[in-house]
Amino acid sequence: MKLRTALLSGGLIAMGAAFSTSQAHAQAAPFLDTPTNHWAYESVQDLAKRGIVIGYPDGTYGGKRPMTRYEFAVAIERALLTIDSMVKAQAGTPAPVGTPPATALTQDQLNEVQALIDKFRPELDTIQADLKTAQDNIEALRADVLDTKALANKAQATANDSYGFGSNRKFQISGYLQGRFQSADGYGQGTRVRFPQGVSTKSGSYNGNYAQGGNVESFQLRRARVKFSGQVTPNTKYAVQIDTSGAITAGTSATSANQQVTVREGYVAYTSGNGDPTKNLTFTAGEFATPFGYILPVSSATYLTPERPLAFSESNYGIFNAQDYDKGLQIGYNTPQQLAFIPAGLKLTFAAINGAGRTGENSDRKIDTIYRIAYQTPSKVLSLGASYYLGQIKDPNTGVAATSLLNNTGPNYTGAKKELIGFDGQLAVPTGDSQVFLNAEYVGGTFEERTFFTGTATDLTNGTSLQTVYAKGNKIDGYYVQGGYTFGATGTHGLTFAASYDVLKRGEGKANAFNTGGSDAYTDKNLGYGALYSLDKATRLRLWYNHPDAVAHQPGFNSPTKYGLLTGEIQVKF
């Protein structure tokens, strides 16, 4: 069957080629690809001699060549036209102008043509049946493809409502965990208590470092956070972040407050228009990252040092005490195109917040406001930002005189003011597969609260405490500089060497009835350096040493011994 079908195909193609040209070019010599012992050899040669088929320009007949449906249609049409011209020639009817000259057909020739058609009739019927079957199969395949597409869409919709990763999922889980080992300087030198707060899992100021610590050496679960988020509609998304690390606040019992679960984020965000936050206003309500400066709203899973720099720390007794997240309303807008002198890609943010941080409500009786403007070059090499904070301070749990002022009962009370301005910049210069980077940030202004160590002139131990006092008109200045080099920045196993220096001048105000004036004693300074290495895309190791150059303390007393802190950490993100 296959051989006869191939011969039929080749014969019709050859006939089509012959009928499209003048029959004066009859093939006298045998075709190069038709063996003399083939059963159809004589028929092919006879048709060639009569000019009905001429084969191909290269002298071949193509008897075994596959034929397309288009070639088959052309061959049949030309064969019929040629036969028609032959019949008309036999009847003496003039052929149309342009038709190749045709010789009259004898009855024997007509019989040969009819015999050829009859011989290949089963093949023609088979081809027609095969075509019908192929069409039916194509229709069935098309139906299967449509069904498969519908199932895939349904599966995607189900996945969007289930656990997974993707910006368009309605429900996804992410988070990170940081396990640490910390060791303070001075092991075996006198008392083993080197952390002023003394308790192994205490969260508070350690000798100016603002890191959790223990007695000389301690294993810790610094952070264990899980975040649930999703894109409910093209315009609306949500997020809830839970912290299960159990860090406790100063002054509470380690046994009663340890391992408590706290909410770090819980907000709903709505983007107007088509839902693209790069081109439309975004409104965020609930508890969200405080949008002041660069490093305060950045996740602790991404920055270099074990803790934020002093001036931007969320730990106790800082100017952003427990305020890495706050409750309120935030409006964000990215300029999609240049407007007058305002460049495209500018990010504008406004926030109205309680100012009491994640642990309380609006206890200072005033809504705080934050304004921020930021810009990043299209190449992402340089980023710049400026921030402004206007608000008050919640009751810092100070002494009697200050308490009456902060509770709005004193005659001279005008509100514990918190007015800050900040500037930040980030530079990341790629060098092949590596990267050089430099981050810097400044914050300064009025902050009418001061924190320092109190105690005797001897070295501070766990028996000493941190004192917070109200200081009217108190001015603060804080800044940090971080720089380093990352090898393999675009790969899975990036290695970073970095150093950091940060300063917080806690008291520079002038002396008055409520303020003892500025002093270098109120200044904290830290120098840190270390390395970070990625084991894979999810797991990172950190080794960091932090040493204080200055520790804020009560004026007139000796500065506490400056114990350094070595941190070894493994972090996994998911």
Q: At what angle do helices 2-19 and 121-160 cross, to 10 degrees?
A: 100
Strands 325-334 and 346-353: antiparallel
51 and 198 together in one domain: no
Could you list the residue range(s) of the whole structural domain that residue 114 is in?
2-119
103 and 197 together in one domain: no
Residue 153 belongs to some domain of the structure: no
369 and 512 together in one domain: yes
Residue 174 belongs to some domain of the structure: yes
184 and 76 together in one domain: no
- Phi, psi of 321, deg, nearest 5: -55, 115
Q: Residue 183 is encoded by which pair of tokens?
A: 């060791």
Nearest Cα to Cα of residue 441 among 470, 411, 482, 488: 482
Looking at the structure of the chain, the number of domains it has is 2
Residue 522 belongs to some domain of the structure: yes
- Phi, psi of 254, deg, nearest 5: -65, -30
State which of 68, 92, 119 marks the end of a domain.
119
Residue 454 belongs to some domain of the structure: yes
Residue 137 belongs to some domain of the structure: no
Helix (H, G, I), strand (E, B) or coil at 313: coil
* Degrees to nearest 5, angle at CA 416 with 415 and 420: 120
343 and 462 together in one domain: yes
State which of 93, 119, 145 marks the end of a domain.
119
Nearest Cα to Cα of residue 238 among 286, 279, 297: 286
199 and 82 together in one domain: no
Q: How far apart are CA 48 and CA 55, in angstroms?
A: 8
Taking the chain (574 residues) in runs of 10, the rounded mean pLDDT of each run is 41 41 47 78 72 71 68 59 66 58 63 69 72 84 86 72 60 90 63 40 41 59 89 93 64 44 90 90 96 94 89 81 92 80 84 86 81 93 96 57 44 67 96 93 90 58 60 87 93 92 81 58 89 95 90 76 83 94
* 372 secondary structure, DSSP code: E
DSSP annotation string for 28-84: -SPPTTS-TTSTTHHHHHHHHHTTS----TTS---TT----HHHHHHHHHHHHHHHH
Place of tokens 């114990």: 563
State which of 119, 146, 173 marks the end of a domain.
119
Residue 134 belongs to some domain of the structure: no
pLDDT in the model for residue 52: 58
The CATH number of the domain holding residue 428 is 2.40.160.10
289 and 415 together in one domain: yes
Q: How far apart are CA 386 and CA 329, in angstroms?
A: 20
Place of tokens 């080992």: 181
Residue 69 belongs to some domain of the structure: yes
User: CA 187 from chain center: how many Å?
Assistant: 43
83 and 166 together in one domain: no
Helix (H, G, I), strand (E, B) or coil at 384: strand
pLDDT in the model for residue 119: 67
pLDDT in the model for residue 3: 37
pLDDT in the model for residue 522: 85
Q: At what angle do helices 107-119 and 41-49 cross, to 10 degrees?
A: 140
69 and 175 together in one domain: no
247 and 396 together in one domain: yes
Residue 130 belongs to some domain of the structure: no
DSSP annotation string for 249-301: -TTS-HHHHTT--EEEEEEEEEE-TTS-TTTS-EEEEEEEE--SSSSSSS-TT
209 and 93 together in one domain: no
406 and 486 together in one domain: yes
Q: Residue 426 is encoded by which pair of tokens?
A: 């980030």
